[in-house]
Amino acid sequence: MIDPRWEHFEHGADVGVRGRGPTCESAFEQAAVALTAAVCDPLAVRSHERIELECAAEDRELLLVDWLNAIVYEMSTRRMLFGRYHVRISDVRLKGEAWGEPVDVLRHQPAVEVKGATVTELRVVEAPPGHWLAQCVVDV
């Protein structure tokens, strides 16, 4: 079984976010951490407030885009950063939670503002069994 983890991948002026895990849900959670890491160190974000998120899409790939865009929306409208996530997926519906805190410019030192997730390099796959990957490019 693979340990959940996140990473970035190069894509021109934008940032690729990638999550890996033993389940689709954990890969989505790690892709969200990678999204946060495009802005700041996710370990610097305290889990003071919990936000509930829900989304649905035609397939799991578009569900990833909707999930990440829901996070971007909450980051922007609430002026918050999130460092921890929990996801439950049923078919093509997602219920998730994000834990975070208001942005503290001095402590978080945000590097960029993420404008949104895109369908560029979009993939949600399980290969081999127990090794999920969820990735796309985010516009910064």
pLDDT tens over the chain, length 140 residues: 556 688 777 767 789 999 999 999 999 999 999 999 999 999 999 999 999 999 999 999 999 999 999 999 999 999 999 999 999 999 999 999 999 999 999 999 998 899 999 999 999 999 889 999 999 999 99
Residues 6+ apart with CB under 8 A from 37: 6, 8, 17
Residue 122, burial from CB neighbour count under 10 angstroms (0-12, 13-18, 19+): middle
Residue 30 has which token pair? 């790690």
Q: How confident is the model at residue 87, as a pLDDT? A: 98
Domains of the chain, with CATH numbers?
A: 5-139 (3.55.10.10)
List of residues 6+ apart from 120 with CB closer than 8 A: 11, 14, 136, 137
Burial classification of residue 138, based on how many CB atoms lie within 10 Å of its CB (0-12 exposed, 13-18 middle, 19 or more buried):
buried
pLDDT at 2: 56
